[in-house]
């Protein structure tokens, strides 16, 4: 095997499970989570991504995730965008879905069957008060030592940021939507 294709010669070490926050108004938070999932699956790690807002539409990552199964599981549990884009559901329906998503994330995180648990758009659910801050902080407190926990979505709460090991803020400098270009398949969904 050519040297550049060999697996890393760095010896395995015990994993220090991190809390990572991907936030900000720029594009790329979910995409970054998916990139982490692909990288982790490449190392034989098991990844579960619970989606808090998305769930009512079909988008490419649903089909892409199937190609990475069984190591990668994508679980859309949201009821769609809250209060925008033709949303007709009442707040309690969205809140119930977000609480169920948080319970599913907790169950997967504590099961011992996932190396990385991604809570996609959980920051949005928290910002919209679909779930209480105390419940998210409790989840962070319960995180097993060897599990990586990723929380994505704009408007991350300061207390979540304070408890994280890594925080990245995506900042929009320019976006095609501002030029009248609608979302593109494979890029935006």
184 lies in some domain: no
pLDDT tens column, 77-125: 988 777 666 767 788 999 999 999 999 999 999 999 999 999 999 999 9
Dihedral sign, CA of 55, 59, 65, 66? positive
Residue of 181, 188, 186, 130 whose CA lies nearest to 157? 130
Beta strands in 37-147 (DSSP E): 47-51, 72-76, 116-120
Q: Decide if 94 is inside a domain.
A: yes
Chain segment 15-53, per-residue pLDDT in tens: 899 999 999 999 999 999 999 999 999 999 999 999 998
Question: Which pLDDT does position 121 carry in this prediction?
Answer: 96
Residue 8 has pLDDT above 60, yes or no: no
Confidence at residue 90, expressed as pLDDT on a 0 to 100 scale? 82
Residue 45 lies in a domain: yes
Domain membership of residue 185 (yes or no) is: no
Please report the pLDDT score of residue 157 as a whole number: 98
Percent above pLDDT 90 for the chain: 69
Q: Is residue 151 domain-resident?
A: yes
Domain that holds residue 158: 15-179
pLDDT digits (tens, 9 = 90+) for 142-166: 999 999 999 999 999 999 999 999 9
pLDDT band at 61 (very low <50, low <70, confident <90, very high): confident
Report the CATH number that the domain containing residue 120 is assigned in CATH: 3.40.50.300
Residue 169 pLDDT exceeds 80: yes
The set of residues, in sequence order, having a beta carbon less than 8 Å from that of 135 and lying 6+ positions away, is 99, 102
**Which pLDDT score is estimated for 11?**
65
Task: Report the phi/psi class of residue 132: left, alpha or beta, with left for phi > 0 and alpha for psi in -120 to 50.
Answer: beta
Q: Is 92 domain-assigned?
A: yes
Determine the pLDDT at residue 182. Answer: 87
Does residue 189 lie in a domain region?
Answer: no
pTM above 0.85, yes or no: yes
* DSSP one-letter string for 122-171: HHHHHHTTSS-HHHHHHHHHH--TT-EEEEESSS--HHHHHH-SEEEE--
Q: Is residue 6 part of a domain?
A: no
For residue 56, name the pLDDT band (cuts at 50, 70, 90): low
User: Quick one: which H or E segment has residue 137?
Assistant: helix 133-142
Structural domain tally of the chain? 1
Cβ neighbours around 57 below 10 Å, total: 12
Strand 47-51 versus strand 116-120 pairing type: parallel
Hey, how many other C-beta atoms are within 10 angstroms of the C-beta on 35? 11
Bridge partners of 73, per DSSP, are 48
């Amino acid at each position: 095997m050519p040297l550049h294709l060999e697996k890393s010669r760095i010896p395995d070490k015990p994993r220090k499970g991190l809390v990572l926050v991907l936030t900000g108004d720029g594009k790329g938070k979910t995409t970054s989570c998916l990139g982490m999932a692909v990288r982790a699956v490449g190392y034989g790690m098991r990844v579960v991504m619970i989606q808090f807002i998305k769930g009512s539409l079909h988008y490419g990552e649903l089909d892409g995730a199937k190609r990475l199964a069984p190591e990668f599981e994508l679980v859309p549990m949201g009821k769609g965008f809250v209060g925008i884009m033709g949303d007709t559901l009442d707040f309690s329906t969205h809140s119930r879905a977000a609480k169920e998503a948080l319970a599913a994330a907790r169950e997967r995180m504590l099961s011992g069957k996932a190396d990385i648990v991604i809570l996609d758009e959980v920051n949005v659910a928290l910002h919209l008060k679909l779930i209480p801050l105390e419940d998210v902080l409790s989840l962070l407190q319960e995180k097993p030592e060897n599990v990586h926990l990723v929380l994505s979505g704009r408007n991350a709460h300061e207390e979540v940021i304070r408890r994280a090991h890594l925080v990245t803020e995506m900042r929009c400098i320019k976006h095609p939507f501002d030029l009248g270009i609608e979302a593109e398949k494979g890029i935006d969904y």
